[in-house]
Amino acid sequence: MSEDFPGWHGTTILAVRRGGRVVVAGDGQVSLGQTVIKGSARKVRRLRPGGYEVVAGFAGSTADAFALLERLEAKLEATPGQLQRACVDMAKEWRTDKYLQKLEAMLIVTDGTQVYVITGAGDVLEPEHDAAAIGSGGNFALAAARGLMETDMTAEEIARRAMAIAADICVYTNGNLTVETIEA
């Protein structure tokens, strides 16, 4: 990613796995520099390629993320029910294709069982501790979620509370959430 890439300033996406389900939460703030452009963006989407359900959240350039989500859907249609293979195939293509190399975004994707973070560097990462986060407030949300995993809270309660903590700390994150739940 280029050093002047502003995509890290404007979103927080968190995935929490617990009790046979995964919750993906994303805030709604879109910032351009120090200005809030929109407070109600939907950065978490439910995809249904070929009847196979996946939830994806994105951080970074919106247009780039939509291009990547389209590619991911195509990979999922080509490899139904094989999220890991589709993610690896997409990450390879993202890293080697001259057009895709310029895309500046990150994704969290899940089918309710597996959770992956996909980057333009060719990474397909399966997080430890049943939580993953990306974006400007991602580290705050991740730390909060990991701490809350010690409680009896549900995945959605953990995700909502961790996102509220991130919104209190990160000026590029707001409390206007989109939350999607998918079961294993």
Of residues 11, 12, 79, 110, which has the active-site annotation? 11
DSSP, collapsed to helix, strand or coil, labels residue 59 as strand
CB-count burial class (<10 Å; 0-12, 13-18, 19+) for 172: buried
> Which single residue is written with the structure tokens 């909502």?
160
Of 84, 118, 108, which is closest to residue 16 (Cα–Cα)? 108
User: Known catalytic residue: 96?
Assistant: no
Contacts of 166 (CB under 8 A, 6+ apart): 12, 14, 27, 137, 138, 140, 141, 144, 173
Largest CA distance in the chain: 47
Name the amino acid, one letter, at 9.
H
Residue 178 token pair: 């989109």
Taking a C-beta distance cutoff of 8 angstroms, is the pair 59, 134 a contact? yes
Taking a C-beta distance cutoff of 8 angstroms, is the pair 159, 179 a contact? yes
CA torsion angle for 156, 179, 143, 69 (degrees, to 10)? 130
Q: Which of the residues are catalytic?
A: 11
